[in-house]
Every structure is written in structure tokens, then in C-alpha cells.
Amino acid sequence: MKRTCLLIHILTLFILPTQAQKFEGLAMTPPMGWNSWNTFGTDINEDLVKGIADAFVEFGYKDAGYTYIVLDDGWMAKERDDNGNLVADPEKFPAGMKALADYVHSKGLKFGLYNCAGTKTCAGYPGSRGHEYHDALLYASWGIDYLKYDWCNTGDLNAEEAYITMRDALYAAGRPVVFSICEWGDNEPWKWGKDVGHLWRISGDITPCWDCELGHGNWSSWGVWRIINMREGIRAASGPGHWNDFDMMEVGNGMTTSEDRVHFAMWAMLASPLIMGNDVRIRDEATIKILTNREVIAVNQDPLSKPAFRLIDEGDFEIWIKPLSGDDWAMCFVNMTKSEKALDFDWHFEHIGDNTINRTLDIQAKTYGIRDLHLHKEIGSTGEKLSAVIPGHDCLMIRLTPLK
């Protein structure tokens, strides 16, 4: 009897899965990469992905910290095979996903795919509902490093439970995967996503405009400032391994250079993942300069991992502040109008601090040097007023560092 019980115990150790969880130690700073959807929709293929990977290296995106190349909706055939496997569209991806992942990995980059918690993806391809563990094993066999998981055609599914199911499936498959929750903020994922995924969307899809809503019948796309202003009280949810995701960026997709600069600066300030959504194969020097600005990226990737908050809203101007490691601070002064505006900021006028970490910009006891992160130069100190002229829909982004 004792021998039988021991045998059952040993078999149980092999049969029962390890307690499911998300993969820890991933996305300890906001993920950086590229996603196909904003520019290409479902018009994707393996030559596009290879070209994107090549451009990452050629134009300095890889050196600036961008790592993930993620294929969004439309990579699959319309039906699973006879064994229930997802199949890469043979016309778009004739060499298959394993070969494509190998190519991306050969560049020192990581590769991601898209699927959906429902029966169909948003574009009508096979979803993962009822196939979660099967699909996770397939992704692992292909060498997938990142999964964006959408929320179309989900019926009456419970969002948290549906995402937990795929989280558990990915963990059981054994290959570390960054898990991106994309249910548009409808089910308040900032309240439950920390233990489920590594990032979660806080809004519907972005569109390349300053502050607009683009209606599509029963859903909308949102401009940069509509997304920024959409949620309140979510700042504390972000941190290492769990990020509020303000969506893929639209830098280079039709806004003005000034608006692109603000867009990128604010995503950096808010500690959002920096996922490019433009055609990075195009050598557009203004776009490359914005997206590879290492001083702005450093604000996003700062190890203190605290998102910015709005310090002042004067209508014409908004002032955002983000605490950084080492007693540094980042600030972004945004001209919300289309006309040039003069800034004259008195450091003694306003109490500046972050009560959530009990930290104050103590200009009475310390003097901070001021560095312009777009001009890459020192522009004074907090010992005097900060004066600047900011063009319409543009910003002054600075870093404050205590002077010795």
C-alpha cells in the first residue's frame, strides 16, 4: 500500500503542471519595439518583417534600445489545420514563422505575434478561445518572445479569467514570453493585470492626431491627448514588469514634427511601452531623430519606474513632472495651442513634489542643473527663472540634476 501511494505521488509530480504564473523578470522597464498594425493592418509578409529587422540595425533603433518586432493581426491562414494548429498564411509567410523568428533573432532582436481571446481575431482570423494551451506550445516551438492578446469576439467571457488562462498556457509551454493584455481598458486591467500580464492597454486604438476621436460605428480611435486624458487614478498601477500601455506610437504617421515630438516625450514621461507603429524602413531623419533620442528614452527607461503626473494645467500650457532615480526629475512643458507661446517659469512659485514617494524638488536646499533633452545641452539652473519660447503643439522637455 505504501509503495502504491509513493508511486502515485511520484506520478503526480510529473503529471501536474507547475503552479501557473506569468514569467517574472521580463519587461522590468517599459518594452521597446515595433508593431505592424498602425501602418500595415493585415497587409503583412515575411519580406516586410525582415526589412523592419534590417532597419532596426541600419537606422540605430536597436542601439537605442528597441528590441521587439511584433506582427499584429493577419499573419494566419483563415483556418486551423487538421490537427488544430494555427497556420502562418503560406502566401504571406512561405518560409513559416520559425524561420522568420530565427531571422529576427539573428539580428539580436526578439519576435512577437498577435492573437485574440475570442473565437476570431478582430480581423476575422482564428482566435485562441479553447485552444490556449495548444497555441502556447506552438508559439514556444517557433521561438516567440512576445504575445499581444486582443479582445474581439469574446462573447460573455470574463476578461480577467480569459487572460489568466492564456497566461497559464504560456507559462506551461515553458518559453518566457512578454504578455501584452489588449482589452482596451474596458475591464480596468490596471486593477488586476499586475499578476497576469506585463502590460495592458488603457484605451481603444490610437490614431495619428493631436486631440480627436475617429468614430467607427460601435467603437472609436483616439488621438494622443484623448488617450492621455482618458483614465484617472491608474498611475500607481505601473511598475517593473507591469505597465500601463498607452498604445503603439504614431510618430512618423502624419502628424507634424512638433506633435510627434510631444507624443514621444509624453509616452516617455508616462512610462508607457515605446512600441513604434510607423514604417521604420523609411529613412526619415526627423522621425529617426525623435524615436532614437536616447536622453528621452532614458526618462522612459529610468529604473525608478514612476510615471509622470500633471503638475499644472493652465489651458494654454500643461506641465508634467516625473521623478527619476538619483534625485533627478524630468519635466515636460507642453504648449497646447497651435500658436507660439512664451514660458516664464518661477521655480519658487509652485510646490513641486511627488507625494506617492514622499519626495520634493527642494530648490531651497539644492540647486538643480537644467538640461534640454531635445537640444542636448545645459540651459541653466533652478537658481533663476526658466524662460523659453515654445512653438505651437510642441514642448520643452528637461532633466533636472542636483549640482555638486
pLDDT digits (tens, 9 = 90+) for 208-234: 999 999 999 988 999 999 999 999 999
CA gap 90, 305 in Å, rounded:
42
From 150, 168, 260, 394, active-site residue: 150
3-state helix, strand, coil in the chain (%, to 5): 30, 25, 50
The grid coordinates of residue 124 equal 476575422
Q: What residues contact 238, with CB distance under 8 A and at least 6 apart?
A: 244, 271, 305, 306, 307
Name residue, grid cell 506520478.
11
Q: Are 57 and 69 in contact (CB under 8 A)?
A: no
pLDDT digits (tens, 9 = 90+) for 95-151: 999 999 999 999 999 999 999 999 999 999 999 999 999 999 999 999 999 999 999
What are the CA-CA distances from residue 293 to residues 49, 64, 323, 359, 376 (Å)? 23, 8, 19, 27, 9
* Closest C-alpha among 78, 13, 89, 10 to residue 44: 89
Provide the pLDDT for residue 381.
Answer: 97
Q: What residues contact 403, with CB distance under 8 A and at least 6 apart?
A: 366, 367, 368, 369, 381
**pLDDT over 70 at 7, yes or no:** no
Count of domains for the chain = 2
- The mean per-residue pLDDT over the stretch 370-380 comes to 98
Q: Crossing angle, helix 159-173 and helix 132-142, to 10 degrees?
A: 40
**pLDDT over 60 at 164, yes or no:** yes
Range of the domain at 38: 32-300
Residue 249 maps to a domain: yes
Confidence of residue 364 (pLDDT cuts 50, 70, 90): confident
What CATH number is given to the structural domain containing 208?
3.20.20.70
**pLDDT over 70 at 45, yes or no:** yes
Do 221 and 83 have their domain in common?
A: yes
Provide the pLDDT for residue 286.
Answer: 98
Do 229 and 344 have their domain in common?
A: no
The torsion angles phi and psi of 364, rounded to 5 degrees, stand at -75, -35
Selected residue with higher pLDDT from 2 and 354: 354
Find the DSSP H helices in 93-242.
Answer: 96-106, 132-142, 159-173, 224-228
Mark which of 252, 280, 300 sits at the end of a domain.
300
| Average pLDDT over the chain, rounded to an integer | 94
Q: Crossing angle, helix 132-142 and helix 96-106, to 10 degrees?
A: 50
From 73, 205, 247, 354, active-site residue: 205
CA gap 262, 34 in Å, rounded:
19
Confidence of residue 19 (pLDDT cuts 50, 70, 90): low
- Report the first-to-last Cα separation within the chain, whole angstroms: 75
pLDDT digits (tens, 9 = 90+) for 178-198: 999 999 999 999 999 999 999
Provide the 10 A C-beta neighbour count for residue 134. Answer: 16
Selected residue with higher pLDDT from 350 and 374: 374
Do 82 and 166 have their domain in common?
A: yes
Mark which of 275, 300, 325 sits at the end of a domain.
300
Q: Is 284 part of the annotated catalytic residue set?
A: no
Residue 218 maps to a domain: yes
Q: What residues contact 155, with CB distance under 8 A and at least 6 apart?
A: 118, 119
Residue 381 maps to a domain: yes
Residue 25 maps to a domain: no
What CATH number is given to the structural domain containing 379?
2.60.40.1180
% the chain with pLDDT above 90: 91
AA identity, residue 326: G
**pLDDT over 70 at 54, yes or no:** yes
Provide the pLDDT for residue 377.
Answer: 98
Count, residues in the chain: 404
pLDDT digits (tens, 9 = 90+) for 313-361: 999 999 999 999 999 999 999 999 999 999 999 998 778 889 999 999 9
**Among 5-19, 159-173, 214-228, 233-247, whose mean pLDDT is lowest?**
5-19
% the chain with pLDDT above 70: 95
CA gap 103, 41 in Å, rounded:
22
Find the DSSP H helices in 180-275.
Answer: 224-228, 257-269
CA gap 396, 265 in Å, rounded:
9
CA gap 177, 98 in Å, rounded:
15
**pLDDT over 70 at 262, yes or no:** yes
The grid coordinates of residue 245 equal 500601455
Q: Are 22 and 243 in contact (CB under 8 A)?
A: no
The grid coordinates of residue 213 equal 476621436
